[in-house]
Amino acid sequence: MIELDLDVEDLVGMRFAVSPLMETVMSLRIPLLPTYFVLQMPWWRRVHGELAGVDMGPLTALVGVRRWVPDFLTPRPEVPVPDFDAELELVRSTPPEKVAADIKVAHAGRPVPDALCLDDPARLRDRIADLLGQYWEAALAPHWTRMRGVLEADMLYRARQFTRGGARLLFADLHPAVRWRAGMLRLDIPAIDYRADVTGRGLCLMPCLFVRGVAPPISASEPPALAYPARGIATLWETEPPRGDAALAALIGRPKAALLGCLDRPTSTTDLAGRLGVTPGAVSQHLAVLHDTGLVTRARVGRVVLYARSDLGSRLLS
């Protein structure tokens, strides 16, 4: 059980962020636990053939017996969507003694794998950073635009939840392991037990594509952060659009009916184009009409515009 004390200022200063490095590190667990990460396996089947030139041994060895990863590999983002290379530089600047300590903690008292020889932690740190860069380029960078769209859509949804119902509604909808009561955020996580004051350090919430439960730092001394499963993971690799009702397609046209069926969550133009197998320009034209007629809403998150069905659009679809 982890307990985080939050006061009013902590709630006011609470923020969301997306971390490409977090996604990269957490995705290392997928091939090790394919029956656990079922929703993420379509991604792995697509990319594993591109990893022939990457030495995966040291990377997969980072994952501990409890699916933990060393804290120094998941630094808390200081901006909403940091650059992967900038995050990797933070890893390279980690003191060698912290590298060794975090690896030992992640393996929970078990022997550290030979692939992670701790005789020279600085050299190991740099080797891991190099391999993570290669792995990112081969496995995640080609798909990052679509991944980022799903993650930013989740942030928009959570922000709306917080606006509508405050911290109570936000945390109630985050994950079953998260409980909020009277200024205390409780995380039901096996084998991790600490209580920490968030006061003055802020709490960062991070949607993640490669987690099933919530993932806070292992150590209480780390800056307070919480990765949680992003909404829409199951649809991330869909290529077949939902079938529109024939009557609706006859009314507004098949392309617009298909788009309306896809917009059950905030989604970017690029993501919609990938699912429908058309160009982003064609999607934009249809979205403009759907927006002008009040069937979809839109909101900007950073550099991305996200679209979702309006209440009117949902009633029409049903």
Write the CATH number for 295: 1.10.10.10
pTM (two decimals): 0.79
- The answer to whether 113 and 64 have CB atoms below 8 angstroms apart is no
pLDDT of residue 98: 97
pLDDT block averages, 10 residues each, the chain of length 318: 85 89 97 92 92 95 93 94 96 97 94 94 97 97 87 85 85 90 87 84 92 91 92 70 69 86 80 82 90 87 78 82
- The answer to whether 16 and 170 have CB atoms below 8 angstroms apart is no
- The set of long-range contacts for 234-241, using a CB threshold of 8 Å and a minimum separation of 24, is 234/39, 235/265, 235/275, 236/42, 236/43, 236/146, 236/147, 236/150, 236/209, 237/42, 237/43, 237/46, 238/275, 239/274, 239/275, 239/277, 240/275, 241/275, 241/276, 241/277
pLDDT of residue 34: 92
152 with 301, same domain: the answer is: no
184 with 260, same domain: the answer is: no
139 with 152, same domain: the answer is: no
The phi and psi torsions of 305 (rounded to 5 degrees) equal -100, 125
Domain residues for the domain of 94 are 19-143
Q: Which of these three, 232, 250, 269, is where a domain ends?
A: 232
32 with 112, same domain: the answer is: yes
Q: Which of these three, 204, 232, 260, is where a domain ends?
A: 232
Q: Which of these three, 232, 265, 297, is where a domain ends?
A: 232
**Structural domain tally of the chain?**
3
Q: For strands 225-229 and 204-208, give the pairing.
A: parallel
